[in-house]
Chain A
Amino acid sequence: MKNNLKNNKTNANIYIPLNGKIEEITQLTGDVRLFKIKTETPVDYVPGQFFMLSVWGAGEVPISAASLPKENGTIELCIRKTGVVTSAIHSLETGQPIGLRGPYGNGFPRDISTGRDVVIVAGGIGIAPLRPLIQHFINKPEDAGKVTLLYGSRTPDEIIFRDEVEEWKESGIAVALTVDKGNDNWKGNIGLVTGLWPEVQTNFKKAAAYICGPEVMIKAAMRDLFFLGMPDERIITTLEAHMKCGVGKCGHCYIGPQYICTDGPVFSYKKIKERSILM
């Protein structure tokens, strides 16, 4: 009878992580590493979606995909050592197993950028979910008009993907960097990322924007862009929250009537205002 029940299992268990293996670890800044993870079977996803990374004994943590899906089935995840699980992930070495579930969430909307200039606003580790989007616009320039990246970091040493930013520039992305606190070698902008609007050569009323960073930065950037004339349905951000399940059950990421995990993590400013998220 027991066996019979086993076969009748109501459904595949969504909480069982897929087996992954760490292929490569790159130290990006002091506390940020890029993990290249290979799964047994390739996983398909879109920029803006996230995975629940799982380290047995420590737990699970939601991490946005930091690369476009690749044919060889590797996923890059950019992780800052902040809490219990991310510290456990940082203690792993190349070749060790790591579990992952997903992809979850809605991802960035594809259609809104077509034929429009795009402004990408990143703050700190917020560059991670935006990186596949930048890669997408480089691979498919026809999907957008002129792409401008505004990227703010705390210090010059904390600029994540600094070498890649130079490559992006060469590929035709306009880039403006800023830091909160400079050092002797820094000759660039100092100040908030929202101080960089004059660097953007576009008509804001006709452009689209993708924003990710700390909550205060997201709020300020969305409001500024709205006042610069950008329609609120084209101001797009991706939010984060404490999550335990990633599938809309555990309740931790519930804000307003929305679950960040299943209704988001990507929201337009329009939706954020309508649904009182982030207020």
Chain B
Amino acid sequence: MKNELILDKNNLSYWLRQIRKNRELIGPLMNDGNDIVFKSVDRIHELVLDCPASLPSPKEFIFPQYEPMLRMRQASNVKRQEITDLSDETKRVIFGVRSCDISALGLLDKFYLEGHKDPYYAERRRNTLFISIVCNDPAPTCFCIGLGTGPYLEKGFDIQITDLGDRYFVQIGSPEGAKTVKAMSFLFRRPQKTDYEDQYEVFLSSKARFHKRINLKGIRQMILEEKVKDDFWQWVAGRCFECGGCVYDCPLCTCFTVTDREYPYGIERIRLWDACMFKGFTRMAGGVLPNEAMVKRTKRWYYHKLIHYPEKLGGFGCVGCGRCTITCPGKIDMASIATKLKGLAISEEEK
């Protein structure tokens, strides 16, 4: 079977209904507050596909904010502890994910699966299929184009679709993706010359629509050459509200805390998202706070994303999704910091 196909828009709903028979269907929906969020799709016609990336990233479905890990039941014999693994085995398909979030997955896989393999992430990842959609109209906050993580992908996806007006250009990128398409091959047809040309046009016009051109490589170089002074980080820290929004919305932030909760049926060990922006994040027994100074925390986040992520995982800890730009009340998000530093570098040169 060819890896490139055409799906008539009339057939999308039918295709998704068929997929939903075997998997939980997750897609971008509008909530009461007019935010786009990924949720379990009850009514396929309510999917919102002509919008930019959802505000919370779909990492929620492979690394959820709240995840039960283990349950311990104390048997009547006091010495016996019965432990159950609570890892989630639900089969899911996430439809309408953006390229930036798929790119983030590549790095998350390296982080969670290499070395000590995280069983909860591994289990969810193994059971989740992603159908990503090319961004025809990127939002003003998006800057994936400067990072090569969007608006469309060459590889790394399961299934990628491009909106060509009345039809979708469908690309298959993984064996699991191929299986899903093959099961309903009668819905698809082979692309013709005009389909390729239309897809090319969409790619070009999408690229031309980006408002932001951000060069993280340049910023990384500035930091490595120690051109970014401490007073700059002090300024950043002074504007941080310690809300943790950047961390929670970032598709590449991976930190969690673990806590035990007691229920009538036993004790559950759960994990929750945590944020390095919080003072208590590094608190040790006895109350020592290694990162009490705000500047240490904001600097740590930027160093992690710009310096250490590329060293350890081979890519920036940022895919240019722009969520921190939308969330940050202090305007010290990745894009703003990069723009500010570039400005400083230019004014330095002019001196």
Contacts and interface: CB of A to CB of B under 8 A. Distances in A.
Contact of B254 (A59, A242, A249): A249
21 contacts: A9-B85, A10-B117, A10-B122, A10-B123, A11-B117, A13-B119, A14-B116, A15-B70, A16-B83, A16-B85, A19-B81, A56-B267, A59-B269, A82-B285, A242-B283, A244-B258, A244-B274, A247-B116, A248-B116, A252-B255, A254-B300
A59 B70 contact: no
Interface in B287-302: 290, 300
Interface string A17-38: 1010100000000000000000
Interface stretch (B96-104, B142-150, B191-199, B305-313): B305-313
A56 B73 CA distance: 10
Given A13-B85, A16-B85, A251-B274, A57 B260 contact: yes
A95 B258 CA distance: 27
B207 interface: no
Nearest to A104: B116
Contacts of B274: 244, 250-252
A19 B81 CA distance: 8
Nearest to B123: A10
A2 interface: yes
A257 B312 contact: yes
A76 interface: no
A97 B69 CA distance: 20
Contacts, number: 120
Nearest to B275: A251
A116 to B, nearest CB: 32
A264 to B, nearest CB: 14
Given A10-B117, A11-B117, A250-B257, A242 B284 contact: yes
A253 B276 CA distance: 10
A60 interface: yes
B313 to A, nearest CB: 11
A85 B74 CA distance: 19
A6, A16, A251 pick with most chain B CB within 10 angstroms: A251
Nearest to B311: A257
Interface string B86-123: 01010000000000000000000001100111111011
A13 B281 contact: no
B257 to A, nearest CB: 6
B72 interface: yes
Contacts of A85: 285
Given A13-B87, A59-B269, A254-B304, 17 more contacts: A9-B119, A10-B117, A11-B122, A12-B119, A14-B117, A14-B119, A16-B85, A57-B267, A82-B286, A85-B285, A242-B282, A249-B111, A249-B116, A249-B118, A249-B256, A251-B254, A251-B276
A262 B116 contact: yes
A220 interface: no
B85 A262 contact: no
Interface size class of chain A, counting residues whose CB lies under 8 Å from the partner chain: 35 or more
Given A11-B117, A14-B117, A257 B276 contact: no
A31 B283 CA distance: 20
B100 to A, nearest CB: 21
B285 A83 contact: yes
B25 to A, nearest CB: 18
B112 A249 contact: yes
Contacts of B260: 56-59
B229 interface: no
Contacts of B185: none
B296 to A, nearest CB: 10
Contacts of B117: 10-11, 14
Contacts of B115: 247-248, 262
B11 interface: no
Nearest to B114: A248
A10 B260 CA distance: 24
Report, nearest first, the 10 A-B pairs whose CB atoms are least far apart: A83-B285, A251-B255, A247-B116, A257-B308, A82-B285, A10-B122, A13-B119, A244-B258, A56-B267, A56-B72
Interface string A242-274: 101101111111101100001000000000000
B290 A11 contact: no
B298 to A, nearest CB: 14
B6 to A, nearest CB: 33
